[in-house]
Amino acid sequence: MWGTKCFKITSKNCFILLDGHIPTIRDKVTLAIVHRILSNAFIEDINLEIVQSVISKVKTTLNNSNYNYFIKIDIEKFYDNIDHDLLISKVKRKVRKKELINLINNAIKTPTITSTTRKPYNKNERGVPQGLSISNILANIYMNKLDRDFKDQNDFAYFRYVDDVLIVCNKDDRERIDKKLEKHIKSLKLNYNGEKKQLGLLSQEFSFLG
């Protein structure tokens, strides 16, 4: 098992070159260490539930609550639209090591390069490549304030898995909760996917995470 104190990480030791978002072996090892450090730093602040756990909680809520309405949204191009400056500012709340911050910056800014890509290679100015081992944890760090503010509420139940959000509530509260949710999403410089947004009574059929 890796221990974070056993490694000396410097930003000069790692340049991440991706081919279809697939890192090299050296980069996989480095990113695995970064993932372990981030997991330890944010263990109490982020949602790392697997999809089966989220679905189980949704079923329990639907079977054992008096809610009659739902709001379901999909965040448009979630990974592609994560703001780098906002993400790094969130990471810095728990991680102070400059070299580690530089590694994360390099990982998310390095362009995807294939055999047909021509120079010059432009750095990514927005978004997190989905093929990295740290992509999911960075996405959860990015969403941690939304999760913290919306979970464990008395007047609605909140569920999120990656870019899918479901709120179960009462019809009379739908407008207030919907506006609050939209405000939070916009504060993260993200947008709804309008075509996939659903609102309605729980008596009608709808799907969440398949």
Tokens of residue 58, six digits: 């949704």
- The yes-or-no verdict on residue 207 having pLDDT over 70 is yes
Residue 103 CB neighbours (<10 A): 24
Q: Which of 138, 167, 166, 161 is nearest to 53 (CA)?
A: 161
How many angstroms separate the CA atoms of 192 and 140, rounded?
17
pLDDT of 91-111, one tens digit each? 999 998 999 999 999 889 877
pLDDT of 3-38, one tens digit each? 333 344 444 444 444 444 555 677 788 889 999 999
pLDDT of 106-138, one tens digit each? 889 877 666 666 666 677 889 998 878 899 999
Q: Which of 191, 195, 201, 184 is nearest to 144 (CA)?
A: 184
pTM: 0.81
Question: Mean per-residue pLDDT for 147-157?
Answer: 91
Q: What is the pLDDT of residue 112?
A: 66
Helix (H) and strand (E) counts for the chain? 7, 4
Return all residues near 53 (Cβ < 8 A) that are at least 6 apart: none
How many angstroms separate the CA atoms of 186 and 207, rounded?
24
Helix residue ranges per DSSP H, 64-173: 84-91, 98-109, 135-142, 144-150
Q: What is the pLDDT of residue 132?
A: 84
How many angstroms separate the CA atoms of 141 and 12, rounded?
25
